[in-house]
């Protein structure tokens, strides 16, 4: 006996549903702009106040130029993520100007708080897709850290940065550490975004794969069953037609009707695949009501075709859509395999049994007039397994004189009641009529 179990919550979207390929679209959060504005709001007033307070120590044109350059540096930091290359070039040039401008007697303007905006530019460059730009930003930042300290020997007229080599080394190391930290943050942001893109691509590939398998499964269900029945009708009609020409005409009419039904199913599938609207894919899928038609279509003319009986037991109850579809496809595939692999005379019994908490769908054949072959180990059996498992049920296959296929599917009562307790907006599934 083969058993296949699935999760109770394994419901899937209807075949052809475009929603299976939908991915969550995220609105870009302007982190660079928000962080740049926040830094400017905090540091630019301090920079302006410091420059104005020290204005008496420098020439008159220096304070407005310093404030203007600092403001432009903040502006460059606002576009560091969207235009990292331009922001880095502008930031490096502006920092060079600040380094050459004297702030007071002891320091250059590069030591003003607004210079922290350059670290945001380094983060943006390190975050860029082009890794060379990140390395260039790191190199420029490290050279700038050394250059700022070295420039004090020329710009500053007094203070520890001019006279004490140890203080200069500590200052250069601190500035370099800040640049390295900013570069590392940018790299981490880049790696995180890259991993997210890879996960999103994997989700899309998985959704496409699921959709292809679902389409393949449904195409097999429609084509294989219809072609098997049509071939069986043609073979049986040829045998019966030698004795009764009218029976051959009836068989041909049945084949034509089966072909028209198959063409209608294929057109419906193509409409779903071609339509961008998810609403089309929500058309009713084959269910319990269609099993009687499957049985009727599988019956052959007189004694040459399979004798198929159908019995429905118990009272119909709520059933999930995926479970109902699994029941229909199980009967369809089991009938297809019985007709395809067994020789006439063949008797097949189809039973749909409504039990407390579960629906049992059984299809059994007596082996027919020849050795009992395999029930099918290809796409059809795989499709049955997957459908039943996704519906939260189990599939059992027994071999006796013939083959017996039995699907046990959960009813929706318990699962829907739990869903409605968690979310009262969950609608009730109407009882099939």
How high is the pLDDT of residue 352? Answer: 94
Burial class (CB in 10 A: 0-12, 13-18, 19+), 266: middle
Does pLDDT of 62 surpass 70? yes
Q: How far, in Å, are 268, 345, 397 from residue 373 at the CA level?
A: 34, 15, 13
Burial class (CB in 10 A: 0-12, 13-18, 19+), 190: middle
For residues 418 and 299, state if they share a domain.
yes
At 422, the pLDDT band (50, 70, 90 cuts) reads: very low
For residues 310 and 410, state if they share a domain.
yes
Biggest alpha carbon distance in the chain? 122
For residues 196 and 291, state if they share a domain.
no
Return phi, psi of residue 344, to 5°.
-70, 160
152/116 Cα distance (integer angstroms)? 18
At 267, the pLDDT band (50, 70, 90 cuts) reads: confident
Does pLDDT of 380 surpass 80? no
For residues 197 and 293, state if they share a domain.
no
Per-residue b/e over 216-228, b at no fewer than 16 CB within 10 Å?
Answer: ebbebbbebbbeb
In a domain, 43, yes or no: yes
**DSSP H or E stretch at residue 351:** strand 347-355
Domain closes at, from 157, 180, 201: 201
DSSP-based helix, strand, coil % in the chain, nearest 5: 65, 10, 25
The sign of the torsion formed by the CA atoms of 32, 34, 38, 40 equals positive
Does pLDDT of 358 surpass 70? yes
Nearest to residue 355, comparing CAs of 421, 406, 398, 403? Answer: 406
In a domain, 239, yes or no: no
For residues 302 and 193, state if they share a domain.
no
Nearest to residue 337, comparing CAs of 382, 293, 270? Answer: 382
At 99, the pLDDT band (50, 70, 90 cuts) reads: confident
How high is the pLDDT of residue 128? Answer: 86
For residues 40 and 187, state if they share a domain.
yes
How high is the pLDDT of residue 157? Answer: 57
390/336 Cα distance (integer angstroms)? 22
For residues 100 and 194, state if they share a domain.
yes
Burial class (CB in 10 A: 0-12, 13-18, 19+), 11: middle
Instruction: Name the residue range of residue 146's domain.
Output: 31-201
How high is the pLDDT of residue 274? Answer: 67
The sign of the torsion formed by the CA atoms of 350, 352, 353, 359 equals positive
| Percentage with pLDDT > 90 across the chain | 15
**pLDDT per residue as tens digits for the range 173-211:** 888 898 999 999 989 988 998 899 899 988 888 888 877
Does pLDDT of 107 surpass 70? no
The sign of the torsion formed by the CA atoms of 274, 294, 329, 416 equals positive
In a domain, 177, yes or no: yes
Determine the average pLDDT of the residues in 108-117. Answer: 82
Tally of structural domains, the chain: 2
For residues 194 and 299, state if they share a domain.
no
Determine the average pLDDT of the residues in 252-260. Answer: 77
pTM of the model: 0.51
The encoded tokens of residue 11 equal 């419901």
How high is the pLDDT of residue 300? Answer: 63
In a domain, 401, yes or no: yes
255 CB neighbour count, 10 Å cutoff: 18
∠ CA 62-122-134 to the nearest 5 degrees? 135
At 10, the pLDDT band (50, 70, 90 cuts) reads: very low
For residues 197 and 330, state if they share a domain.
no
User: For 7-16, 68-77, 300-309, which range has the lowest pLDDT when averaged over its residues?
Assistant: 7-16
In a domain, 249, yes or no: no
Determine the average pLDDT of the residues in 125-132. Answer: 87
Q: Write the DSSP assignment of 64-106 as a string of letters.
A: HHHHHHHHHHHHHHHTTTTSHHHHHHHHHHHHHHHHHSB-SSS
Indicate which CATH number applies to the domain containing 306: 3.30.565.10
Does pLDDT of 11 surpass 60? no
Domain closes at, from 183, 201, 219: 201
Residues 330, 4: contact at Cβ < 8 Å?
Answer: no
Residues 350, 298: contact at Cβ < 8 Å?
Answer: no
Return phi, psi of residue 100, to 5°.
-85, -15
At 276, the pLDDT band (50, 70, 90 cuts) reads: low
225/298 Cα distance (integer angstroms)? 9
Q: Which residues contact 232 (CB under 8 A, 6 or more apart)?
A: 300, 305, 306, 339, 340
**DSSP H or E stretch at residue 365:** strand 358-365
For residues 36 and 183, state if they share a domain.
yes
The sign of the torsion formed by the CA atoms of 178, 181, 187, 189 equals negative
Look over the chain and give the mean of its residue pLDDT values, rounded to a whole number.
76
In a domain, 42, yes or no: yes
Domain closes at, from 201, 221, 251: 201
For residues 185 and 299, state if they share a domain.
no
For residues 313 and 424, state if they share a domain.
yes
DSSP assignment, residue 368? B
Q: Which comes out higher in pLDDT, residue 132 or 104?
A: 132
Nearest to residue 345, comparing CAs of 224, 259, 240? Answer: 240
In a domain, 22, yes or no: no
* Pairing label, strands 358-365, 347-355: antiparallel
Q: Which comes out higher in pLDDT, residue 353 or 431?
A: 353
| Percentage with pLDDT > 70 across the chain | 72
Determine the average pLDDT of the residues in 420-427. Answer: 46
In a domain, 222, yes or no: no
């Amino acid at each position: 006996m083969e058993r296949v179990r699935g999760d109770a919550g394994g419901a899937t979207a209807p075949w052809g549903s475009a929603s299976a390929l939908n991915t969550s679209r995220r609105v870009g959060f302007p982190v660079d702009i928000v962080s740049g504005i926040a830094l400017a709001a905090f540091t630019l007033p301090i920079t302006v106040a410091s420059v104005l307070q020290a204005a008496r120590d420098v020439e008159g044109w220096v304070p407005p130029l310093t404030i203007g350059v600092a403001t432009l540096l903040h502006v460059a930091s606002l576009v560091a993520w969207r235009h990292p290359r331009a922001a880095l070039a502008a930031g490096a040039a502006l920092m060079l100007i600040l380094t050459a401008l004297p702030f007071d007697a002891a320091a250059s303007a590069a030591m003003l708080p607004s210079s922290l905006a350059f670290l945001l530019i380094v983060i943006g460059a390190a975050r860029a897709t082009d890794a060379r730009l990140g390395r260039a930003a790191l190199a420029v930042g490290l050279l700038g850290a050394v250059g700022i300290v070295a420039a004090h020997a020329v710009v500053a007229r007094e203070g520890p940065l001019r006279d004490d080599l140890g203080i200069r080394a500590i200052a250069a190391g601190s500035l370099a550490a800040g640049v390295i930290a900013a570069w590392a943050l940018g790299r981490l942001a880049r790696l995180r975004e890259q991993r997210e893109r890879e996960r999103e691509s994997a989700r899309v590939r998985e959704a496409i794969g699921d959709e292809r398998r679902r389409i393949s499964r449904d195409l097999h269900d429609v084509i294989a069953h219809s072609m098997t029945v049509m071939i069986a009708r043609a073979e049986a009609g040829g045998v019966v037609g030698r004795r009764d020409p009218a029976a051959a005409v009836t068989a041909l009419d049945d084949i034509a009707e089966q072909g028209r039904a198959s063409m209608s199913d294929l057109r419906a599938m193509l409409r779903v695949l071609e339509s961008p609207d998810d609403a089309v894919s929500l058309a009713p899928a084959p269910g319990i009501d269609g099993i009687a038609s499957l049985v009727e279509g599988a019956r052959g003319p007189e004694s040459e075709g399979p004798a198929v009986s159908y019995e429905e037991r118990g009272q119909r109850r709520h059933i999930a859509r995926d479970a109902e579809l699994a029941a229909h496809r199980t009967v369809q595939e089991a009938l297809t395999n019985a007709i395809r692999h067994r020789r006439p005379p063949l008797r097949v019994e189809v039973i749909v049994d409504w039990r407390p908490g579960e629906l049992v769908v059984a299809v059994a054949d007596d082996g027919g007039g020849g050795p009992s072959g395999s029930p099918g180990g290809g796409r059809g059996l795989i499709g049955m397994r997957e459908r039943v498992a996704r519906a939260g049920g189990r599939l059992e296959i027994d071999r006796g004189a013939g083959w017996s296929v039995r699907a046990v599917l959960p009813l929706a009562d318990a699962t829907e009641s739990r869903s409605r307790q968690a979310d009262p907006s969950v609608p009730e599934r109407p009882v099939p009529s």
